[in-house]
Structure 1
Amino acid sequence: MSVGQNMNKAELLALFAHASNCMHACLDIPSILRIAVSSAVRLVGARAGSAGLVVDGRLAFSEYSDGQNWLPMSCRFGAEDGWVGDLIKYRKSFIVTEADAITGFAPEVAPGLIEIDQLIAMPVIGKHDEMLACLLVFDKNDGLFDVWDGTLLDQLASMVSVALENSIQQQESRRVEADLEKSVATYRTLVEQIPAITYIATLDRSRILFVSPQVEEILGYSQDDFLANQQMWSEQIHPDDHDRVIAEVKQSLQEDIPFHSEYRICAKGGRDVWVKDAAATVRDHDQALYLQGVVYDITERKLSEDKLVQMAHFDQLTGLANRSLFHDRLDQAVAQAKRHQQKLAVLYLDLDGFKAVNDTLGHKAGDTLLAETAKRLRESVREVDTVARMGGDEFTIILTDIVSLDNIRFVADKIIDAVGAPYACVGEKQSVTASIGVAVYPDDSKHRDSLMTAADNAMYVAKNSGKNRCCFHQSATEKV
């Protein structure tokens, strides 16, 4: 089993986030590739790894890692070279587990890879569907590479793609900024060729002196829009980011430091665009003249990061909170209830008849039923209440600020009616109902785990008492 497979979702999220941050902090592509290889080797528990860039239609490698050291490996592979040909042609990842099929790593090129017998090749695909690079990992330390290893590397490769393209953009912008010091005319010519918005503004940003045409492609507004309305930049910053960004601008001006910020801009048409805004002061000797800045569209990177957060805290089938997030929410709810001397209820729900649906109609119908059940559960409670999927056909709900047991019974009955209604995906012949167990804080327990155990036990009482009903834990009182 790989290191990645031993990690929980939160640990995976931390590893991916660390790799992403390190790659985006790099100033050059070789450093990005080194971080990518080190992360890949760790993720899948490989013995060695390497990364190659696509140069003139060929994969160019310069070094590889054996897990401890970086060693030279100067070679290029073209479409005529066996497995590389398939990789370049189809741009799809694959696993090779036959040593004879792994060619190209001669002893004089990579002596540390002579006896390899496993390989995962993972292409790094750019936003225009072109192949930018390739990650290679060799020889799993424990067993054979499997599909989950490929899934982990695929997620890493998407992050590498964004980092590489951002690095290319940043290198281009640095080249353009150097030319700007020579001539405004040269500046105007060059900035229109890069995939980012460049601008010149007064030191306090009260006036935009120049903005490049890319502003229309990225934000939907023309150059004339920005130059005619000097308040547009400030007005279009997302309300949730506005005060922070303005404070960062003031800090940059007061402390005479470069401005760097990531925030959302409301583009024309209502779309939110995440941008990375970097600006520096242009000087004539010691005299500060104006700000010269570049704005990159980092929406794709932010979506990738949000996806990782979603994977770590939410059930991918139903969109509900997962077990980990439910535990966090319950800890918070218990702490709040204790602080305000309130009561809360934990509902543990199991579907009656779900196994029969899976057995007779298949897992696809079962998944559809679970997704529909999740929707019905969300509609049966308040927005402030937490609904989670614990796994399989088991769900949990936190009801806060409980006034009486009648409140709980009302919600439980509502859920039973909602879940018991017919499902189009299974037909009228299949009956699906809910058995619910309830535990109340602090009557049944003052601790998270024992509350859940009490609710779980009450749920089994409901099942054994005929199903399609709600049962309270035996220590719950009638007067709350």
Structure 2
Amino acid sequence: MVVAVAVFTGVDNMLEQRLEDRARGRVLGELSTVRARLEGELNATIHLTMVMATYAGIHPDMGESEFRRVARELYRQRGDMIYNITLAPDNVIRFIYPIRGNQAVLGLNLETHPEQGESVYRMMQAADTVLAGPWKLVQGGEGLIIRTPVYLNSDRGRYDPEAYWGLTSIPIDMEAIYQITGLLDLEERLDIAIRGRDGRGPAGAVFFGDPELFTEDSLRQEVIIKGGRWELAARPKGGWAVVTTRPLAWHLTGIALVLTAGALAWRMAQQSERVRVSQASHQSLSERLRATIAAMPDICFILDAEGRYLEVFGGHDPDAYHTSHQALVGRTLHEVMPRDKADLFLARIHETLRTGKLQSIEYALSVEEVDGVEPESGPAGTQWFEGRLTPLGKHVMGRPAVIWLSVNITQRKKAQDNMRYMALHDALTGLANRTLLRDRMVHAIAQARREQSRIAVMYIDLDNFKPINDALGHDAGDTVLCEVAQRLNESVRDSDTVARVGGDEFVILLENLPEPELARGIGEKILEVLARPIQAKGRACTVTTSIGISVYPDHGETYESLLGAADQALYEAKSLGKNRYWQADASPIGISS
């Protein structure tokens, strides 16, 4: 009898532990999914402030219309979860989009504001993005404010008052974040809390759920986002005791077992049956968990320390992932992709296992680089991904391993490239703008100084463009400007730069010039090609041009001096009758108008 009681008690304890282990695995899986979604949604939104900060740093003198154009494009990407986008030169809000309903904050000094000033100070000291809140909003709900500093150069290492221009902010609607990431749905099944107000991680205050969860037995996950960290805590509704409760039938069975136990064979048979049922139940749970993970839109890989693919889950978005990744299971990174990529990925796996902490990596990969994945089963061309590696204990896969969540960020990359192109090129002609011209001239001057070579600058102005604009309209004028831009591009080498710096003004940078006379030859060529008629609105339009030329180092050794010398030479060419070129400190040459 004593033996039977001991056996039943031991089995009961084992069942209780097994039920709790299953519940912990289920809660951890759900919590990890929400954590990954929070990181993805918040980092994608935080990225908007970084794009705006970069654009403002390049265009510190932008006006209201230019800000509205850029902000509208950014707001369109995340309008379902952000309230507005602000830009604050010298920490005073001068621009906001959308303006409707937000006029009251224009002119607000964030640095001296009693509630906002602390986060502005932290941002300036860190010289990087910071989080403020979440806090209850006057209009209702909760808002998390993202602040990113704007610098006129690329130095982010420290606060530099000479380079600091101001800041950009985006308040995020936390209710929308909770809804989109599934946190509110998860709250129906779990007690869940979040702490880390102002991005302070475990040291920050609790802003969602019951603070007691952080002092009791709960599972934790760290949310790592640009500018700070949060910590999630969760457990089943009512605590772990609820999920480990055995039915009355179980206890009655135990009593019957104790009272009727006698034969060892019978006990062994019963024990064998219980093990079989437990294994079947465990298998069913495993299959349900696998089905849940497989339904994830992003793709997950489980890889061991040798870089061998053990499992592949998810990836059910055909626009972002290929559906034939199962062919990778059982193979190593070095067996399926180029050595340099395999070495890079394996090193990141080892770093994750060594530190036991989440690691991130951003990389480009095309389907042609991965052996065994069918090209027609997903997107074509090179795709950009953000990988997040989380270590798994030995008990999960029976060996050290990581789970690699791969998120396709190709569209985000394309948006960045498009914004960068817009910031450095003329919208009408596609030529370099004044910002890009300055950068290339400074670089060319430095190279010419090192190599003791020459460069030339040609300042070009169309002589009779305004009459065309007035007579035929701006559409015809735009057609003429685009044709002029194309002819100028065709008149120089691929290594030279053609820029539009004004309405009908252009600048050409000629690098690695063997002899100054070559600039005159190009000037004669430009006079000739621009004199040919241009078709616009069914009419043949004729424009001529005046050109001023300066040469490094003869007429200047800086961007300002070379451009100024070329501008002065252009003035001389126009004053002598136009339709000609004039080199600084030389005589005008050209065709009489």
Same structural fold, with TM-score higher than 0.5 when normalized by the shorter chain: yes
Distance 1:363 1:169 in 2: 49
CA contact 1:330–1:448 (8 Å) conserved in 2: yes
2:358 alignment partner AA: P
Residues 354 and 8 of structure 1, relative CA distance in 2, 3 Å threshold:
farther
Aligned equivalents of 2:533 and 2:555: distance in 1? 34
Cα 1:217–1:300 shift into 2, 3 Å: closer
Displacement of 1:339:
1.0
The aligned residue for residue 283 of structure 1 is 393
Write the mapping of 1:440-451 to structure 2, written as runs, cut at 5 A. 440-451=551-562
Query: How does 1:196-215 map onto structure 2 within 5 Å?
Result: 196-207=298-309, 209-214=311-316
Mapped pair 1:364 → 2:466: no
| Residues in 1 aligned to 2:295 and 2:567: alpha-carbon distance in whole angstroms | 62
SS of 2:512 mapped into structure 1: coil
Structure 1 counterpart of 2:361: 261
Q: Is the contact between residue 216 and residue 222 of structure 1 (CA under 8 Å) also seen in structure 2?
A: no
Matches within 5 A, 1:61-460: 72-73=137-138, 168=180, 184-207=286-309, 209-214=311-316, 216-227=318-329, 231=333, 235=337, 248-249=348-349, 251-253=351-353, 255-267=355-367, 268=375, 270-284=380-394, 289-425=400-536, 427=538, 429-460=540-571
TM-score by length of 2: 0.51
377 and 338 in structure 1: CA distance in 2 versus 1, 3 angstrom threshold: same
Indicate conservation of the 8 Å contact 2:353/2:391, yes or no: no
Quote how far apart the aligned CAs of 1:386 are: 1.5
Shift of 1:303: 2.4
Quote the Cα distance in structure 1 between the aligned partners of 2:336 and 2:93: 44
- Read off the aligned partner of 1:300 and give its amino acid letter: Q
**Which 5+ residue runs of structure 1 have no aligned equivalent?**
24-28, 51-64, 77-132, 136-154
Q: Which runs of 5+ in 2 are unaligned?
A: 1-51, 97-101, 107-113, 118-132, 146-167, 187-220, 223-233, 236-281, 368-374, 588-593
C-alpha displacement of 1:387: 1.4
| Partner Cα distance (2:136, 2:429) in 1 | 46
Secondary structure at the aligned position of 1:195 is classed as coil
- How much has 1:336 moved relative to structure 2? 0.9
Deviations 1:160-181 (Å, cap 9, x if unpaired)?
Answer: 89xx889946979989xx999x
Question: Given the superposition, is the C-alpha separation of residues 342 and 37 from structure 1 closer, same or farther in structure 2, using an over 3 Å criterion?
Answer: closer
> What is the aligned-residue identity percentage?
30
Match of 1:400, SS? strand
3-state SS, counterpart of residue 426 of structure 2: coil
Q: Distance in 1 between the 2:470 and 2:319 partners?
A: 52
- Bigger mean CA deviation after superposition, 210-219 or 378-387: 210-219
Give the structure-1-normalised TM-score.
0.62
Per-residue CA deviations over 1:430-465 (Å, capped at 9, x if unaligned) read 212222111000011112211111111112222233
Q: Aligned in 2, Cα 1:166/1:469: closer, same or farther, shift over 3 Å?
A: farther
| CA 190–426 in structure 1, closer or farther in 2 if over 3 Å, else same | same
Larger Rg: 2
Q: Counterpart amino acid of 1:283?
A: G
SS at match of 1:401: strand
Instruction: Verify the 8 A CA contact 1:169 1:195 in the aligned structure 2.
Output: no
Residue type at the aligned position of 1:263? Y
Deviation at 1:294, TM superposition (A): 1.5
Contact 1:386 1:398 in 2 (8 A): yes
Matched length = 363
- Deviation of 1:467 after TM superposition, in Å, equals 2.7
Residues 452 and 38 of structure 1: is their aligned pair in 2 closer, same or farther, counting only changes over 3 Å?
Answer: closer
Code of the residue aligned with 1:278 in structure 2: it is R
Determine helix, strand or coil for the equivalent of 2:513: coil
Amino acid of the residue matched to residue 44 of structure 1?
F
1:456–1:12 CA distance, 2 compared to 1 (3 A): closer
- Letter aligned with residue 73 of structure 1: V
SS state at 2:523 partner: helix
Q: Contact 1:200–1:293 at 8 Å: present in 2 too?
A: yes
- How far apart are residue 424 of structure 1 and its match? 2.4
> 1:227, CA displacement in angstroms?
4.0
What is the RMSD computed on CA atoms of the aligned residues? Answer: 4.8
